[in-house]
Amino acid sequence: MKNEKGSLMRPDALPASASRPVVTPLSPSVVYASDTPDMLDQQYEGGLQGYTYSREGHPNADVVAKRLDRMENAPNPGVVTSSGMAAVSAVLLGLTQAGDHVIGGNQLYGRSLRIMSEDLPRLGVTTSMVDPGDIAAMRAALRPETRMILVEVVSNPTLRVADIRALAALAQETGVLLVVDNTFTTPRAFRPFDHGADIVLHSVTKLLAGHSDVMLGYVTAKDPGLNDRLRVFTVTAGMSPSPFDCWLAERGMLSFELRYDRAEATAAVLADHLAGLTGVTRVLYPGRADHPDRALLDDLLGGRFCNMVSFEISGGRAEANALTRAADGLSFAPTLGDVGTTISHPASSSHRALTAGRRAELGMSEGFFRISVGLEDPETLCAVFENAVAAAHSG
Ligand SMILES: *Cc1c(COP(=O)(O)O)cnc(C)c1O
């Protein structure tokens, strides 16, 4: 097609090259042109592989999904979504109907808790929040109409561990779907399908993409029919990811394993260092001997932990303010999994909606912090925290 007169806007084709690009090309095109209606028919029917409209799928999303499928040992092709919450929403809204009941871990990610407590009930789906470490309580919460159980492996921010194998056995026995949000543990430490999960989802925004410049999610189901329903729902609901975000995520994921190993090793050093500091009243780290779920951790994670460390200092909000002010060079930000270490303060952010009493029950005082350990040199990081804890108590 000639376009010398400028009346045709689109180029004929990419310049020819006998060699291929090493890096995945970024494909921002929303639409894909087919040659004939017959070909388009075949594309829609699955006889020909081809993209049509990027909400339905595009190459950059498929590249990321394939990589995640491999990492998670997923039995079916998963779908990449525009955020982790889109993945959570796809499962909760796309696979339930009015009259169903859903059980969620009582320490789920804040927005997951919110959709469970606000949105599902509005649509006629009842919900219960239960401690995922308490199998008897889980069993007691089950009803004939229970459709699924949604849990995270390691809870935020108190880093308690859910007995996924016992939950999987319970789910199987009762015909309920076990859905695992594997964001914290990542497939480096834990692969839920290997332990009996039915559906696995991620916030790719966090450790997987790893640079705090991309918001993406991922979800996939063991059952092919459910897996298809999830894909169709995400497309219909417009939960599709941006090609550029997928492109950045792929780039980030190239170094995921290295970043994870490094951050995990540093987290272990930092946890031990914090535990020895005056003014630190509690340290929670899955790698420490004093972790309350030691046996379960060893069994499920097989020697892998994560990059998250939580700790508590004595004092209240004033001491907490002094600590973050003194933690020079680290971001006080409610996220995790960045290349840089971030500190979050659940009482003023993720858990601010809870009453102080409820926070106390969960073990989150004003002096309670969660650290997402990044790639800094461990000695520097220990020194920064030592200084910040001292500053918190020098006022
Ligand atoms: C961040 C997070 C989510 C939500 O992911 P977004 O990408 O921010 O939408 C869900 N679950 C867990 C455990 C998370 O940490």
**For 133-148, what is each residue's pLDDT tens digit?**
999 999 999 999 999 9
The set of residues, in sequence order, having a beta carbon less than 8 Å from that of 195 and lying 6+ positions away, is 164, 165, 168, 300
For residue 85 and ligand 1, the question of a CB distance below 6 A is answered with yes
Kindly tell me the sign of the dihedral angle through the C-alpha atoms of 344, 345, 348, 351: positive
pTM of the predicted structure, to 2 decimals: 0.95
The pLDDT value recorded for residue 138 is 97
Let me know: does 124 contact 212? Beta carbons within 8 Å. no
Confidence of residue 1 (pLDDT cuts 50, 70, 90): very low
Summarised one tens digit per residue, pLDDT across range 322-360 is 999 999 789 999 889 999 999 999 999 988 888 999 888
Summarised one tens digit per residue, pLDDT across range 239-282 is 999 999 999 999 999 999 999 999 999 999 999 999 999 999 99
Q: Where does residue 243 rank: exposed (0-12), middle (13-18), buried (19+ CB within 10 A)?
A: buried
Centroid of ligand 1 to alpha carbon of 261 (angstroms): 21
Centroid of ligand 1 to alpha carbon of 315 (angstroms): 30
The set of residues, in sequence order, having a beta carbon less than 8 Å from that of 18 and lying 6+ positions away, is none
Question: Is residue 7 scored above 90 in pLDDT?
Answer: no
Q: Is 272 a catalytic residue?
A: no
Summarised one tens digit per residue, pLDDT across range 275-319 is 999 999 999 999 999 999 999 999 999 899 999 999 999 999 999
Let me know: does 172 contact 192? Beta carbons within 8 Å. no
The pLDDT value recorded for residue 67 is 98
The crossing angle, in degrees rounded to 10, of helices 256-275 and 378-392 is 40
Q: Containing H/E element for 172?
A: helix 164-174
**Domains of the chain, CATH where assigned:** 58-253 (3.40.640.10), 256-393 (3.90.1150.10)
Q: Is 206 a catalytic residue?
A: yes
The crossing angle, in degrees rounded to 10, of helices 164-174 and 294-301 is 70
Average of pLDDT values for 59-87? 98
Let me know: does 368 contact 298? Beta carbons within 8 Å. no
For residue 372 and ligand 1, the question of a CB distance below 6 A is answered with no
Beta strand 177-181 with 146-152: parallel, antiparallel or unpaired?
A: parallel
For residue 183 and ligand 1, the question of a CB distance below 6 A is answered with yes
Average of pLDDT values for 76-81? 98
Q: Which amino acid is at 203?
A: S
The 8-class DSSP code of residue 195 comes to G
Q: Is 325 a catalytic residue?
A: no
The set of residues, in sequence order, having a beta carbon less than 8 Å from that of 172 and lying 6+ positions away, is 178, 196
Q: Is 181 a catalytic residue?
A: yes
